[in-house]
Structure 1
Amino acid sequence: MSTAQKTPSVFVVGAGFSGLVAARELESAGIDVCVYEARDRIGGRAWTDERLGGHVLEMGATWVHWMQPFVWTEITRYGQEIYPSPDIEDAYWVSGDTVRRGTEHDLDVALSRVQEKILENSRDFFPYPHDPMRVVDDPTTDPELLARFRSADNGSVLDCLRDGDFTQEDIDLADSYWSAGYQGPTATASPLMAKHWGALSDHRSSLMDEQTLRFKLTHGMRGLYDSIAADIRGPIALDTAVARIVHTATGVELTLADGTTHHADAVVLTAPIGALEHIEFDPPMTAPQQKLVTEKTNSSGFKIWIKVAGHHSVIAGAPGEHPISLLRSEYFLDDENATILVGFGSDHTAIDLDDVASAQKALDVWRGDLTVLDCGGHDWVADKWSGQTWATLKSGQFFEGWSAFYTTDTRLRFAGADFAKGWNGVVVDGAIESGIVTARKLIGELSAHHRSLTT
């Protein structure tokens, strides 16, 4: 005899890309969903805002690509369009007290040899880039390869350059690139993350650059996350922080910051690793999970937008001890006779994102004739609800880090870019992947449970 049962319900914590697509997927299966977002807006670490005199700029995630399968599906689904960042005329890179100058091609050539070394073994370690642990999980893996794979999670991303015929200029150039890429010090950066990026880019540094620094959305990230949110029928509660999660094998209880409690069959938590310390868990997180939350990831950097006087088509790099590690022109403002540049650095305390003098000092590393008119950004590391920019990995964290959040015996599930198996941490593609995969697994589990109760 069948007994009528209530519709399954799921809470989604966080209205970034992962939370939004998870909510959409869950609703498509007939599950009741409520989204709780601590901020006063949706988008998470993707945030299209107006800065520097009303110009539409990305405070967080920016670039997309058709070889990123999950975000490209959403771009296609919602009829969004892309356009390229501008080609660059002049390149500058710093080593010691010397500033080199050339074309963007010259810079690419200088960088290609060190990148080839840094990405070495990516094909062996990641034969299936969207299944990064395949070598470990495959019982037929050669023990020697497995040992090399595990060893590659130790040390620094630049260690491989120190024993060969690479010059200090080569090392400084690589440090410039990866200080920006890891959004933190290269000295503590796991070599495996760089190799994984390479594997996701057909093991070619040129394609890696194209995927992460070339194409932007015509209507910004806002055009995409607003479109996804519009397809969600359930409530998206803004300014609603979650303070506590009680999770069991059959359900969850959420306590909000205002003290109210709510119950559901499951919760999908999409908060970044850097924000998990602000939520109480009962039972507590596992020891490996808590270890990562306490240690934090390698992400301590920043992104800054800088408007300078005149037309300047430049790309520039400087090692991580400088405030900005990577700088490039993004927008040419003919009506203002100005250029807007975007910059990335490894230490968010090394620059004041909204201070012209601070930005000017950073740009003077390369040229003394770039006059800063305005600057701005968002300090994601200092932001309570992120605690980091994208989640890059410290030495040892590829094996002893984010993968600890994959398995659970309760109805608490983690999702988000920080936990993606593909583009982990760095781009929107990973956030969407994680949201979809987590939601679909939960749908299967809740559907099976619902069927067992009604038969």
Structure 2
Amino acid sequence: MNEQFDRPLWNEEQQPRRTRVVVVGAGFAGLTAARELENAGAEVTVLEARDRIGGRAWTDTRLGGHQLEMGATWVHWMQPFVWTEITRYAQHIHPSPDIETAYWVSEGTVHTGTEHDLDVALGTLQEKIFEGSREFFPYPHDPLSILNDPSTSAALRERFLAADTGSVLDCLRDGTYTQEQIDLADSYWSAGYQGSTATASPLMAKHWASLSDHRSALMDEQTLRYKLTAGMRGLYEALASDVSGRILLETPVVHVAHDAQSATVTCADGRIVLADAVVVTIPIGALGNVTFEPELAPEQQTLIADGSNSTGFKIWIKVAGHQSVIAGAPGKHPISLLRSEKFLDDENATILVGFGSDHTAIDFDDIASAQKAVDVWAAGLEVLGCGGHDWVADEWSGQTWATLRSGQFFHGWTAFHDTRTRLRFAGADFAKGWNGVVVDGAIESGIRTARVLLRDLSSEV
């Protein structure tokens, strides 16, 4: 039991009593919501299942004492919510290294070129995959706006709804594109969707495009280029320092009762916390750990039961020598995307980051497993060490970032925006902008949920 449980959660002597809110989860969404609520005068307690803050952002030390991101990594000034926090807390960014040699695999053949060659080849495919993004998402941070606009034509509405059927690569299978091109796109999106492209919603890729000015180069910049100099830890610890209420670690929540006036939160150790409202920031993949009373709506339960498209992984691999490479392989291979991230001149080694669609396809801590995975490119990479965190197997996340299956863009995640009781949800999985991916979505959702809750609470006074 957390020793802080020996003290009251709330200040009972305070007059008049302030609004009390429990926030479940101390990732970016939870910490942001807690700060927003406190700034408006609420009394907040944060309950976190892990023994640390940060959620799916976790700056750790691995592979010989190097600062590495186990989860969320890249940020960008065109991500409005995270850039505001970077500015607020005086954080700094630096780029991932430029790459000298590119490798991509198709039908057993390894192709090589420059990073520019790879970008050009992929750019043509992305243009096809992004088709319709301008029409479908005129306001990228309001992704369903054309459905709510009475002036939207019936034809556009029908095409928009139909665009969430099939899979993300179906548009390349009309006979126009070669297998090499399809495999190249599969490499990119197996990593991006963190799961099989065969089940991936085509609309999510188009939405990412709209958030990147419909340009594949800008999307790459936003998702794979710039990192925080002090790591994600520098940002989430700075944010946590602005939360004055208690942040109780190793305190899993198992039950939430809620109605139109209050919420009751039960912790795994039996502790019961009464509050005026509760904000739950648990990822979709771990929401099954909590029971709700009354039960969640059928659409919410279906999304939890089905899960997202996220079954993949992120791995860090140290190799011998100075290796400036980027490499892609279709999702049937353990690693779909691999690139150099850190040159260790004093060790004559390089640290690379890899992504794959199946977390069971590789052993994160086994050099032989990583060596077999990188050998597909025949690039002479000698693995010296590897490591990572299996977010899909982690009971507190059950996924990496939450990408959408076919059919889920219009069903499931939007149901968690419900405001009929004092139970509210926040997190990147429920963001309207960078939904499911990057910290920007988590911060956006934390702000949005907190402000709507405050509005609702004040209207009832």
The yes-or-no answer on 1:78 pairing with 2:89 is yes
Residue matched to 1:453: none
Residue matched to 2:6: none
The yes-or-no answer on 1:42 pairing with 2:53 is yes
Q: Which runs of 4+ in 1 moved over 3 A?
A: none
The yes-or-no answer on 1:265 pairing with 2:285 is no
| Match among 374, 379, 389 for residue 400 of structure 2 | 389
Superposed, 1:286-435 pairs within 5 Å as 286-367=297-378, 369-435=380-446
* C-alpha distance in structure 1 between counterparts of 2:136 and 2:289, whole Å: 35
Residue matched to 2:207: 196
Secondary structure of the corresponding residue to residue 364 of structure 1: helix
State the superposition RMSD in angstroms: 0.7
Question: Which amino acid in structure 1 is aligned with residue 72 of structure 2?
Answer: A
User: Over residues 226-247 of structure 1, what are the superposed CA-to-partner deviations in whole Å (9 max), with x where a residue is unaligned?
Assistant: 0000011000000000010000
* C-alpha distance in structure 2 between counterparts of 1:324 and 1:303, whole Å: 9
Secondary structure of the corresponding residue to residue 443 of structure 1: helix
Secondary structure of the corresponding residue to residue 385 of structure 2: strand
* C-alpha distance in structure 1 between counterparts of 2:19 and 2:122, whole Å: 53
* C-alpha distance in structure 1 between counterparts of 2:246 and 2:352, whole Å: 38
* C-alpha distance in structure 1 between counterparts of 2:189 and 2:173, whole Å: 15
User: What is the CA distance between 1:407 and its match in structure 2?
Assistant: 1.4
| Match among 85, 107, 119 for residue 108 of structure 1 | 119
Secondary structure of the corresponding residue to residue 43 of structure 1: coil
User: Over residues 364-403 of structure 1, what are the superposed CA-to-partner deviations in whole Å (9 max), with x where a residue is unaligned?
Assistant: 0002521100000000000000000000000000011211
The yes-or-no answer on 1:145 pairing with 2:160 is no
User: Over residues 176-227 of structure 1, what are the superposed CA-to-partner deviations in whole Å (9 max), with x where a residue is unaligned?
Assistant: 0000000000000000000000000000111000000000000000000000
* C-alpha distance in structure 2 between counterparts of 1:285 and 1:69, whole Å: 31
* C-alpha distance in structure 2 between counterparts of 1:438 and 1:351, whole Å: 37
User: What is the CA distance between 1:336 and its match in structure 2?
Assistant: 0.3
User: What is the CA distance between 1:449 and its match in structure 2?
Assistant: 2.2
* C-alpha distance in structure 1 between counterparts of 2:92 and 2:313, whole Å: 27
Superposed, 1:131-142 pairs within 5 Å as 131-142=142-153
Question: Which amino acid in structure 2 is aligned with residue 410 of structure 1?
Answer: T
* C-alpha distance in structure 2 between counterparts of 1:280 and 1:251, whole Å: 16
Residue matched to 1:213: 224
The yes-or-no answer on 1:26 pairing with 2:37 is yes
Question: Which amino acid in structure 1 is aligned with residue 96 of structure 2?
Answer: S
Residue matched to 1:53: 64
Residue matched to 2:244: 233
* C-alpha distance in structure 2 between counterparts of 1:33 and 1:408, whole Å: 19
Q: TM-score, normalised by structure 2?
A: 0.96
* C-alpha distance in structure 2 between counterparts of 1:87 and 1:202, whole Å: 22
User: What is the CA distance between 1:322 and its match in structure 2?
Assistant: 0.1
* C-alpha distance in structure 1 between counterparts of 2:273 and 2:281, whole Å: 18
Alignment gaps of 5+ in structure 2: 1-14
User: Over residues 128-156 of structure 1, what are the superposed CA-to-partner deviations in whole Å (9 max), with x where a residue is unaligned?
Assistant: 00000001111110110000000000001
The yes-or-no answer on 1:87 pairing with 2:94 is no
* C-alpha distance in structure 1 between counterparts of 2:308 and 2:92, whole Å: 33
Q: TM-score, normalised by structure 1?
A: 0.98
| Match among 109, 120, 135 for residue 124 of structure 1 | 135
Farther off after superposition, 160-169 or 294-303: 160-169
| Match among 156, 165, 170 for residue 159 of structure 1 | 170
* C-alpha distance in structure 1 between counterparts of 2:427 and 2:379, whole Å: 41
* C-alpha distance in structure 2 between counterparts of 1:298 and 1:408, whole Å: 26
User: What is the CA distance between 1:447 and its match in structure 2?
Assistant: 2.0
* C-alpha distance in structure 2 between counterparts of 1:404 and 1:98, whole Å: 45
* C-alpha distance in structure 2 between counterparts of 1:368 and 1:325, whole Å: 15
* C-alpha distance in structure 2 between counterparts of 1:265 and 1:254, whole Å: 11
* C-alpha distance in structure 2 between counterparts of 1:126 and 1:186, whole Å: 22
* C-alpha distance in structure 2 between counterparts of 1:319 and 1:222, whole Å: 32
Secondary structure of the corresponding residue to residue 430 of structure 1: helix
User: What is the CA distance between 1:5 and its match in structure 2?
Assistant: 4.9
